[in-house]
Chains A and B, each alone.
Chain A
Amino acid sequence: MTPSRRQPGLAYKVYELLSSMRFAIGLLTIIAIASVIGTVLKQNEPYPNYAFEFGQFWFTAFEWLGLYDVYHSGWFLTILAFLVVSTSLCIVRNGPGFLREMKSFREKASDTSLELMKHSTLVAGEVDREAAGRYLTAQGFRLRPGEREDGWVLAGKKGAANKLGYFFAHIALVVICIGGLMDGNLPLKLGELFGTVVPETRDLPQSQIPAHSRLGSGNLSFRGNVTIGESRSADVVFLNSGKGYLVQELPFIVTLKKFHVDYYSNGMPKLFASDIVVTDKATGKETAATVKVNHPLVVDGVAIYQASFGDGGSPLEFKAWNLAAPQAQPVKLEGTSLATQPLRVNGQSYALEFGELRVFNIEEMGGKPQSASRSLAERMHDAREVKQEKNLKNLGPSITFKLRDAQGQATEFQHYMAPFQEEGASYLVAGMRSQVSEPFQYLRLPLDADQSLATFMRLRSALLDPSLYDEIARRTGARARAGNAISAQMQGEFENSVKWILARFAQGGFVALEKFLDERVPKEKRAEVAQTYVKILQGTVPDVMAVANARAGLPPPPSDKATYRFLLDGLVATSALNDYRAPLFLQLEGFQQVQASGLQLTRSPGKTLVYLGSLMLVIGIILMFYIREVRIWIRVRNGETRLALTSNRHNRDLDADFARHAKALQQLVRGA
Chain B
Amino acid sequence: MELASTTFDPKPPFYRQLRLTDWLYALLVLSAAVFTFYRYGSYLDGYEAGILAGSAIGLIGLGWFWKAWRWYFPLSGLVALAAIGLYQGDLGRAQTAFGLKYLLSSQSSIMWMCTLFFLATLLYWMALLQRSELLGRIAAGLTWSASVAGLAGMFTRWYESYLIGPDIGHIPVSNLYEVFVLFCLITALMYLYYEARFAARQMGAFVLLVVSAAVGFILWYTFDRQAHEIQPLIPALQSWWMKIHVPANFIGYGAFAIAAMLGVAELMVMRGWLASRLPPAEVLDEVMYKAIAVGFLFFTIATILGAMWAADAWGGYWSWDPKETWALIVWLNYAAWLHIRLVKGWRGAPLAWWAVGGLFVTSFAFLGVNMFLSGLHSYGTL
Residues in A lying within 8 Å of B, measured CB to CB: 21, 24-25, 28-29, 31-32, 35-36, 38-40, 42-43, 70-71, 134-135, 138-140, 180, 183, 223, 264-266, 268-272, 292-296, 303, 305, 307, 371, 379, 381-388, 600-602, 604, 607, 610-611, 614, 617-618, 621-622, 625, 651-652, 663-664, 667-668, 670-671
Contacts and interface: CB of A to CB of B under 8 A. Distances in A.
A29 B337 CA distance: 12
A643 to B, nearest CB: 15
Contact of B107 (A293, A385, A611, A671): A385
Given A35-B325, A614-B304, A618-B301, A25 B234 contact: no
22 contacts: A28-B332, A36-B329, A71-B320, A223-B316, A266-B232, A293-B238, A294-B236, A294-B241, A295-B312, A305-B314, A307-B315, A381-B95, A383-B228, A384-B107, A386-B91, A386-B105, A386-B157, A386-B230, A388-B231, A621-B300, A651-B286, A671-B3
Contact of B8 (A21, A36, A138, A270): A138
Given A268-B234, A387-B230, A602-B315, A35 B329 contact: yes
A387 B164 contact: yes
Contacts of A652: 283, 286
B344 A21 contact: yes
B332 A385 contact: no
Nearest to A376: B223
B266 interface: no
Contacts of A29: 332, 336
A32 B241 CA distance: 27
A398 B310 CA distance: 34
Chain B at the A interface: SS class: helix
Contact of B317 (A38, A384, A604, A651): A604
Contacts of A21: 339, 343-344
Contacts of B238: 293-294
Given A31-B332, A32-B333, A35-B329, A140 B235 contact: no
B243 to A, nearest CB: 13
A614 B299 CA distance: 12
Interface in B274-304: 283, 286, 293, 296-297, 300-301, 304
B326 interface: yes
Contact of A385 (B94, B296, B375): B94
A610 B320 contact: no
Contacts of B229: 385-388
B307 interface: yes
Nearest to A43: B320
Interface string B1-25: 1010001111100000000000000
A40 to B, nearest CB: 7
B343 A607 contact: no
A597 B22 CA distance: 54
B333 A268 contact: no
Interface string B193-232: 0000000000000000000000000000011111011111
A194 B10 CA distance: 68
Contact of B373 (A39, A140, A663): A39
B286 A32 contact: no
B162 to A, nearest CB: 12
A266 B230 CA distance: 11
A602 B314 CA distance: 10
Contact of B234 (A42, A138, A269): A269
Interface string B343-382: 1100000000000000000000000010001110000000
Interface of B: 1, 3, 7-11, 91, 94-95, 101, 105-108, 111, 157, 160-161, 164-165, 167-168, 222-226, 228-232, 234-236, 238-239, 241, 283, 286, 293, 296-297, 300-301, 304, 307-308, 311-318, 320, 322, 325-326, 328-329, 332-333, 335-336, 339-340, 343-344, 369, 373-375
Contacts of A604: 316-317
Given A270-B235, A383-B222, A664-B7, 11 more contacts: A25-B336, A38-B320, A38-B325, A39-B369, A43-B320, A305-B313, A383-B223, A384-B101, A386-B161, A601-B315, A618-B301
A668 B307 CA distance: 55
Contact of B329 (A32, A265, A388): A32
B304 A139 contact: no
A379 B8 contact: no
Given A35-B328, A383-B107, A600-B315, A140 B231 contact: no
B206 to A, nearest CB: 20
A611 B308 contact: yes
A469 to B, nearest CB: 58
A620 to B, nearest CB: 10
A152 B321 CA distance: 62
B305 to A, nearest CB: 9
A180 B318 contact: yes
B235 A269 contact: yes
B107 A386 contact: yes
Contacts of B108: 384
A32 B95 contact: no
Nearest to B313: A294
A667 B312 contact: no
B239 to A, nearest CB: 4
Contacts of A663: 7
B317 A621 contact: no
Residue from B91, B95, B315, B375 having most chain A Cβ neighbours under 10 A: B315
Nearest to A600: B315
A29 B236 CA distance: 32
A383 B296 contact: no
A549 B337 CA distance: 86
Nearest to B101: A384
Contacts of B301: 618
Given A264-B168, A294-B239, A32 B332 contact: yes
A299 to B, nearest CB: 14
Nearest to B318: A180
A622 to B, nearest CB: 7
Contacts of B344: 21
Contacts of A607: 311, 317
Most chain B CB within 10 A, of A138, A305, A625, A668, is at A625
B3 A667 contact: yes
A618 B3 CA distance: 44
Nearest to A368: B226
Most buried by A among B157, B235, B312: B235
Nearest to A37: B325
A264 B164 CA distance: 12
The 10 A-B pairs with the shortest beta carbon distances in the complex, nearest first, are: A138-B10, A293-B235, A39-B322, A600-B315, A305-B315, A388-B229, A614-B304, A294-B239, A71-B320, A264-B232
B130 to A, nearest CB: 27
Contacts of B286: 651-652
Contacts of B222: 383
A271 B238 CA distance: 9
Contacts of A379: 223
Given A39-B326, A610-B307, A667-B3, A621 B315 contact: no
Contacts of B234: 268-269
Nearest to A131: B8
A228 to B, nearest CB: 16
A518 B168 CA distance: 60
Nearest to B223: A379
A617 B312 contact: no
Contacts of B105: 384, 386
Contacts of B160: 386-387
A149 B216 CA distance: 71
A294 B312 contact: yes
B228 A294 contact: no
A271 to B, nearest CB: 6
A134 B7 CA distance: 12
A617 B10 contact: no
A209 B33 CA distance: 58
A664 B375 CA distance: 61
| Most chain B beta carbons < 10 A, residue from A264, A269, A386, A604 | A386
A621 B230 contact: no
